[in-house]
């Protein structure tokens, strides 16, 4: 099998797995549930949907047929960074809500976590480049994953 086909299958099923997670959460009525986390599962569903969309966007970009004009590459890279940031932000918020349920006395501390993560991320990627070259995109993408995705 050619490697392009394996890459296609990987992104396709990876995105489908996240989409299935989102569907399984949103198709349930959690109002009657006794689970404490039932009230915040919607955040995880939003993470799953946004991450599935991100993976499928990557899939489309890696297909042999789409050829983007050179001038659109920075815009596409910016869109990918926004998708990754939004996706992992939902995951971070879900994790913070879970921590609030587990440690109810520390809510003030957990309220600061998203702001601290975003401030550290901004400091880590400054100075922001004028254009998103391949190296700048890779650097910022890894920082989003490190400072927003990893703490989640």
All structural domains of the chain with their residue ranges:
3-149
Give Rg (Cα) of the chain: 18
- What pLDDT band is residue 130 in, cutting at 50, 70 and 90? low
Q: State the average pLDDT over residues 100-127.
A: 78
Nearest to residue 26, comparing CAs of 46, 51, 50? 46
Residue 129: predicted pLDDT: 63
- Dihedral over alpha carbons 69, 73, 78, 82 (to 10 degrees): 70
Residue 14: predicted pLDDT: 92
pLDDT tens track for 19-55? 999 999 999 887 778 888 888 999 999 999 999 999 9
Q: What is the mean pLDDT of the chain?
A: 83
Nearest to residue 81, comparing CAs of 117, 49, 50? 50
């Amino acid at each position: 099998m050619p490697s392009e086909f394996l890459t296609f299958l990987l992104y396709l099923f990876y995105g489908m797995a996240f989409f299935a997670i989102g569907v399984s959460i949103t198709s349930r009525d959690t109002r009657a549930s006794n689970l404490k986390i039932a009230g915040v599962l919607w955040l995880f569903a939003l993470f799953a949907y946004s991450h599935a969309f991100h993976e499928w966007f990557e899939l489309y970009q890696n297909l042999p047929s789409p050829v983007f004009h050179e001038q659109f590459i920075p815009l596409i890279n910016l869109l990918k960074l926004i998708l990754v940031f939004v996706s992992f932000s939902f995951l971070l918020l879900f994790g913070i809500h879970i921590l609030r349920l587990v440690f109810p006395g520390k809510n003030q501390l957990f309220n600061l976590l998203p702001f601290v993560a975003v401030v550290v991320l901004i400091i880590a990627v400054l100075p922001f480049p004028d254009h998103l070259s391949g190296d700048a995109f890779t650097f910022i993408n890894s920082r989003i994953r490190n400072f927003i995705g990893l703490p989640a």
